[in-house]
Amino acid sequence: TVYRASTTAPVNIAVVKYWGKRDAKLNLPTNSSISVTLSQADLRTLTTASCSTIFTSDSLTLNGEDSDISGARTQACFRELRARRAALEEKDASLPKLAALPLKIVSENNFPTAAGLASSAAGFAALVQAIANLYQLPDSPSELSKFARQGSGSACRSLFGGYVAWRMGEKEDGSDSLADLVAPASHWPSMRALILVASAAKKGVSSSSGMQQTVASSGLFQERIKTIVPANMDLMEDAIKNHDFEKFAEVTMRDSNSFHACCADTYPPIYYMNDTSRAAVRAVEAINAKAGKTIAAYTFDAGPNCVVYYLDENKDAVLGGFADALKAVSGFEQGAVAAVAGVID
């Protein structure tokens, strides 16, 4: 028999960024973060998990290629999920003994892997959810988020749809470092994200290594985790609860700028944004200036690609503004992929 379960996991884009680990082994962060889960059909990972006596060992393929599963992150996810299944099997002897069987994971991304498009988030969220489905685990998304977190920090937020917080927690064992729902997508259904791909190339400095360098060398970062992020978390949760787009936008842009300032303050400095990214910032500023209020917000992860949040009622002004502004920008002209996403549960 081959036991099998499939799932898809969406991408999430943070509006208050996770950057920094206090424990690299358990992937425990130096600060809490908030993200929005995107619905775009082209931004998701599809994963099938199966297990059977006919498989000889655990395996994982990503986009048709064999992937190394010996890494501590993947191993941690496998181990935790197997332990949960084993506990169920111990309680109920009628359950098939799946925990002992080799796992075969097949994953497909339909967006550029590691180009700063949060692919590890969707990837590990899908991996954990697919195995949880295969094992029929009764755990809540928050419980599962602790397993996904050990695969990739940002992945814990992709276990939920809508507006999601990752609470950093305080405990050394990480048992209180998990994701929870700030609001479902239906709470603010007119939120949209415009995704501008400045470069689909693999990024230079991975988030994991970049954030470790920042923690080790940036003085500005200490200020970020002590005062800036806690304040942004409060402001952002209020903005979401009150549908206050201007506040949501300001905090999103300031938090992205603060994160990239910490990257620049890392020694040696890390630059994820490029000239094309900066042109997108100027385009958003021009759109907001023309509207006479803030109707668009940019944010950048560990790469040059830009995500612009806006409300559907302003789509003509935002998309039109970008079409005009980006005609003058070479990076987006050549092979730029622009996609619009909503928020999904």
Distances (CA, A) of 222 to 27, 33, 82, 218, 339: 18, 16, 38, 7, 35
Residue of minimal CB distance from ligand DP6? 153
* 23/246 with CB nearer ligand DP6: 23
Whichever of 51 and 81 has its CB closer to ligand DP6, that residue is 81
Candidates 7, 31, 37, 152: give the one binding ligand DP6 (CB under 6 A).
152
Q: How many other β-carbons are positioned within 10 Å of the β-carbon of residue 251? A: 25
Sign of CA dihedral 143, 148, 154, 155: negative
Is residue 154 a contact point for ligand DP6 (CB under 6 A)?
Answer: yes
- Considering the rule CB under 6 A, would residue 260 count as an interface residue with ligand DP6? no
Task: Pick the stretch among 134-142, 150-158, 261-269, 313-321 that binds ligand DP6 (CB under 6 A).
Answer: 150-158
Residue placing its CB nearer to ligand DP6 in the complex, 76 or 337:
76
CA angle (241 as vertex; 236, 242 as ends), nearest 5:
100
**Distance (Å) of CA 141 to CA 138, 155, 160, 164, 323:** 10, 12, 7, 11, 39
The closest of 322, 340, 330 to 276, measured between CA atoms, is 330
Q: Judged by CB under 6 A, does residue 153 bind ligand DP6?
A: yes
Angle between helices 119-134 and 141-151 (to 10 degrees): 130
3-state secondary structure (DSSP) of residue 290: helix
For ligand DP6, which stretch binds (CB under 6 A), given 97-105, 130-138, 151-159, 336-344? 151-159
Of 30, 33, 45, 177, the one binding ligand DP6 by CB under 6 A: 33
Of 31, 32, 47, 120, the one binding ligand DP6 by CB under 6 A: 120
What is the per-residue binding string for ligand DP6 in 180-219, x denoting contact by CB under 6 A?
---------------------------xx-----------
98: contact with ligand DP6 by CB under 6 A:
no
Question: Is residue 17 a contact point for ligand DP6 (CB under 6 A)?
Answer: yes
CB of 136 to ligand DP6, least distance (A): 27
Residue of 165, 288, 133 whose CA lies nearest to 238: 165
> How far, in Å, are 27, 90, 198 from residue 202 at the CA level?
22, 44, 12
- CA 324 to centroid of chain Cα atoms: 29
The yes or no reply on residue 147 touching ligand DP6 (CB under 6 A) is no
**Residue 66 main-chain phi, psi, to 5 deg:** -60, 135
**CB 291, min distance to ligand DP6, A:** 28
Q: Which stretch binds ligand DP6 (CB under 6 A): 47-55, 136-144, 149-157, 192-200?
A: 149-157
